[in-house]
Structure 1
Amino acid sequence: MKKSLGAKTLAQPTPVWAVGSYDENDKPNAMIAAWGGIASSQPASMTVSVRPSRHTYAGIMKHKAFTISVCTKALAAEADYLGIASGKNEDKLAKAGLTAVASDVVEAPYIDEFPLVIECELSHVYELGIHTLLVGEIKDVKCDEDMLVDGKHPDIEKILPLIFNPGTRDYHTVGERVGKAFDIGRQFTE
């Protein structure tokens, strides 16, 4: 029997992304966001929800761009710190030992140490309660070459992306491969 837990943000898992932007003074900044995902295939687009009170929000609005640096298990503490401190008060990237790199396609920085980066141009903004849903059209995806499988796709088992459990507020990473998508279910089509 299932127990009702109420109307809560308990979807599992959620991503741990470093959302990069230049702030209002054009200084590189990044925050951690777990509310986000793929929004569209055509045009290729991502969403991320950010509170307007966050320092990163004003920078995204000014520059009309953001990046998503996919956080990894190996850099979990650095990623967590980006969600604890505010770029309003300190240079979070420098303090965490992370390197901001200027995107060559959008007006936003990404974090060099994280192996997978998605560069987005802001395309839509939706006010939703205490968060604002930002939709970014993907302009480029960059991945460290040693983190690719077949030379053209990010390898989830090498990247080991950090994921978040909103209920317990714990970080995890991905587990073993289960099977090939759009294939293991074929047994039910016969």
Structure 2
Amino acid sequence: MPKLLWKPGTLLAPVPPALVSCGTLEKPNLLTVAWTGIVNTNPAMTYVSVRPERYSHGLISETGEFVVNLTTAALVRATDFCGVRSGRDLDKFSACGLTPEASGKVSAPSVAECPLSLECVVRQVLPLGSHDMFLAEIVAVGVDPSLVDRAGKLHLGSAGLAAYAHGEYFALGKSLGTFGFSVRKKPAAKRRAPGKKSARRRAPRGETT
């Protein structure tokens, strides 16, 4: 059966329900953004799309900086709240019990409770219609040390990250594979020693192998 053909819409999913922090450490603000992603590797670049009438739009325009904070299943309620309330009316950090902490390279604060924080500097603003896209360079990444093993490897899969799809929040489920697994060669089977028979357990009566 062919797919139904609908009018153009923003149905790309899942996407990250990210908490974007902006402003300053003394006067911080939070904005929930699902429209973000990676657009370049070197230099590392990302974007956020924000409506011009949003309070955070003015703050990001003024400072040219923001932080994209990845959220977890435990932070979904706070993430949702920050997407439906305005920083003009209240301190969203305080209202959600979140902690603004100093970032390493930008004046915008990071969210202490988030496992990963991408510190960004705006390089270009693209007016697209309903939203303006802030195209930004990632100048530093703040990482929760509990996600890094002794060898320095990041285990982001154990962070309990959240996802957003068509109006609903989800917790990421089981791993289905790692990048490149479809073409990765399987390790060669161990060769049997010459003249040595493989040990094989005989099944008891009534047991199948």
Per the normalisation by structure 2, the TM-score is: 0.82
Matches within 5 A, 1:5-154: 5-22=6-23, 27-148=27-148, 151-154=151-154
Structure with the higher fraction of residues in strand conformation = 1
1:58-109 Cα offsets, whole Å, 9 max, x none, are 1111111000110110111011111111110000110100011121301211
Deviates more, 1:101-110 or 1:70-79: 101-110
Can you give the 5+ residue segments of structure 1 that lack an aligned partner in the other structure?
none
Q: Which residue of 2 aligns with 1:179?
A: 177
Aligned residues: 184
List runs of 5+ in structure 2 lacking aligned partners.
186-209
Q: Separation in 2 of the partners of 1:37 and 1:97?
A: 26
Work out the CA distance in 1 between the residues paired with 2:74 and 2:33.
18
SS at 1:59 equivalent: helix
Name the SS of the counterpart of 1:184 in structure 2. Answer: coil
Specify the code of the residue in structure 2 equivalent to 1:128.
L
Structure 1 residue runs of 4 or more that deviate by more than 6 Å after TM superposition:
none
Give the aligned residue type for 2:68: I
Q: Which amino acid aligns with 1:129?
A: G
Once superposed, what is the RMSD of the aligned Cα atoms? Answer: 1.9
Structure 1 residues 19 and 153 mapped into 2: Cα distance closer, same or farther (>3 Å)? farther
For 1:160 and 1:31, locate their aligned partners in 2 and report how far apart those are by CA, in whole Å. 21
Over alpha carbons, which structure has the higher Rg?
A: 2
Instruction: Report the Cα distance in structure 1 between the residues aligned to 2:52 and 2:148, rounded to whole angstroms.
Output: 35
In 1: Cα distance, 2:169 partner to 2:35 partner: 14
Of structures 1 and 2, the one with the larger relative CO (CA 8 A, separation 6+) is 1
Aligned in 2, Cα 1:153/1:120: closer, same or farther, shift over 3 Å? Answer: farther
The residue identity in structure 1 corresponding to 2:59 is: G
Q: Secondary structure at the match of 2:113?
A: coil
The answer to whether the Cα contact below 8 Å between 1:69 and 1:111 also exists between their aligned partners in 2 is yes
Alignment CA distance shift 1:151-1:126 (3 Å): farther
Matches of 1:55 and 1:95, distance apart in 2: 17
Cα distance in 2 for residues equivalent to 1:89 and 1:104: 28
> Per-residue displacement from partner, 1:150-176 (whole Å, max 9, x unpaired)?
65454232212211113xx00012221
Distance 1:120 1:151, change over 3 A: farther
Give percent identity, aligned residues only.
Answer: 32
* Cα distance in 2 between the residues matched to 1:22 and 1:127: 21
Spell out, residue by residue over 1:103-160, the C-alpha distance to the aligned partner (whole angstroms, 9 max, x if none).
Answer: 1301211110111100001111101111011111011111111123565454232212
